[in-house]
Amino acid sequence: MLEKLAHTSIGLGFASIGLTIATWAKEKGKSEQERAHAERFGNFVGLWAPTFFLLGIYLLKLRELGYDSEAEKLADEIQALKEKIG
């Protein structure tokens, strides 16, 4: 479970880099104000990448240390509670 979350997080990091580049490229050549907005938004999205990468590395490290089984137990307990409530 942790490995799947880690790979998803790393994938989101690469996706945010791609979205940043796409945002910058999309607004190229338009008015100065639109280019400035695209650059600010691109920088904002670009700041997500390090967070996603660090989260992915942290989750992989937790899996390596053996916390994956505990995460699965917790997920099973949450599922049992959901079934009890609903």
Per-residue model confidence as pLDDT tens digits over 22-65: 887 877 667 888 888 888 888 898 899 999 999 999 999 988 88
Confidence of residue 75 (pLDDT cuts 50, 70, 90): confident
- In the chain, how many domains are there? 1
Which pLDDT score is estimated for 29?
66
What is the domain extent for residue 62?
2-85
* Overall pTM > 0.75: no
Question: What gap in Å lies between CA 51 and CA 2, rounded to an integer?
Answer: 16
Beta strands in the chain (DSSP E): none
Within 13 Å of residue 1, how many CA atoms lie on the same side as its CB? 11
Based on the number of CB atoms within 10 Å of its own CB, is 31 exposed (0-12), middle (13-18) or buried (19 or more)? exposed
Higher pLDDT, 17 or 69: 17
Task: Estimate the crossing angle of helix 48-64 against helix 32-46, to 10 degrees.
Answer: 10
Both tokens of residue 48?
């997500």
Higher pLDDT, 58 or 75: 58
